[in-house]
Amino acid sequence: MMNHQQKDELTGAVRDALLHAVTHLEPSLMTRLDWMHRETMSATKVLGADDAKKARYEASLEVLEMIQENLAIADATGLPMCQDTGMVVAFVEMGSDVHFSMQEVGEALDNGIALAVRDGFFRNSVVSDPVFDRENTRTNLPAVVHWFPKESGGLTIRMMLKGFGSENCSALAMLNPTAGVETVLSTILDMVRKAGGKPCPPIVLGVGLGGTAERALLLSKKALLREVGSTNPDPRYARLEQQLFDSIQDLHIGPGGFGGPLTALAVAVEHEPTHIAGLPVGVSISCWADRKAVVQWGGAQ
C-alpha cells in the first residue's frame, strides 16, 4: 500500500517533471536545433539574390529563430513553449521492487498531471467525448497511459506532452510480408510527404515496425520517447534510421513547411516480432516541441 507521504511525493515528482517538460527541451534536441539553424544559415548564404530557393530558405531560418525565441521566453517566464500543451501520454513500467498497486500509481499520476496543468498554465485541450458532447474536462485528464511489467527494479514513468498538430499526422500501413526495406522506406517517406508542414516541422519521427496494427503505432510512440539522436542497438535498424533521416531532408519540407534544406531533427525506429502474413508500419510525428519527462521511483532502474 502507498501511504499518504509516498503518494504526495510521487504526485509532486510527476508535477515537477511535466512543468519542466513544458518549458524545456532535452539537451540533445537543443543541440539538433542549433545544428539545423547553422546548416540552414550556411545554405541560405550561398544562394544568389535571384535564386528561387532563397525566400523559402530565409522563411525557414526565421521559423528556427522564432523557435529559439520561444524557448528563451519559456525558460525565463515558466510559460509553455507552445500554446498546444498536448495530451499526456505515459508509459509506466513497474518492477518487482514496487510495492503498491497500479491504481495507486494511476491516482498519483492523475493528481500530478492535474497540478501541472493548473500551475503551468497549460491549455485545457482534452474533451470527455470524442464525437458528441466534446465537453472540455478542464484538467487535461484523462491521460493516455500504457502499463508494462518488468522483472526487477522500481517504477519508471515516461511521459510526453503530445500536441495534436503532429498527432493528427500519425499514419499506419499494413504492408505485404514481402515488402522489404525499400518499400518500408518509400511508405514512410510518403507518410511524411503527405504530412508536409502540418505537424509544425522541424520534426522528430518515430517509427514502429511489427506486432499488430495498434502495436506498431504504440511502438512508434515508444520510439519518440527515446533520447533524440540515440540509435537502435541493431545495426540494421540503425542504418534504416539514418536512411530515413537523410531521405526526409531530401523532401525539402523545411521548418514551418516553407521548403528549407532540412526537415528532420531525428528519426527513431522500434521493432518487434509480427505475423508471417503481414508487415505493420506505424508512424508518429512530433513537432519541434518534442516535450518529454521521466520520473523514476525506488529500486534499481
What are 24-56's pLDDT values in tens digits?
Answer: 999 999 999 999 999 999 999 999 988 989 999
Distance CA 60, CA 42 (A): 12
For the chain, residues with pLDDT lower than 70 are: 299-301
Class of residue 237 by CB neighbours under 10 A (exposed 0-12, middle 13-18, buried 19+): middle
Q: What's 131's DSSP letter?
A: S
Distance CA 7, CA 189 (A): 44
What pLDDT sits at residue 116? 98
What pLDDT sits at residue 276? 98
- Predicted model pTM: 0.95
Which triple of cell numbers denotes residue 91? 508509459
| CA nearest neighbour of 173 among 203, 199, 210, 198 | 210
Q: 284 phi and psi, to 5 degrees?
A: -120, 135
How does DSSP assign 159-226, residue by residue?
EEEE-HHHHTT-EEEEE-TT-HHHHHHHHHHHHHHHHTTTT-SSEEEEEEEEE-HHHHHHHHHHHHTS
Distance CA 61, CA 38 (A): 9
What pLDDT sits at residue 20? 98
Q: Cα-atom radius of gyration of the chain, to the nearest Å?
A: 20
Distance CA 289, CA 163 (A): 8
Question: Contact, 274 vs 211, CB < 8 A?
Answer: yes
Distance CA 217, CA 197 (A): 21
What pLDDT sits at residue 298? 77
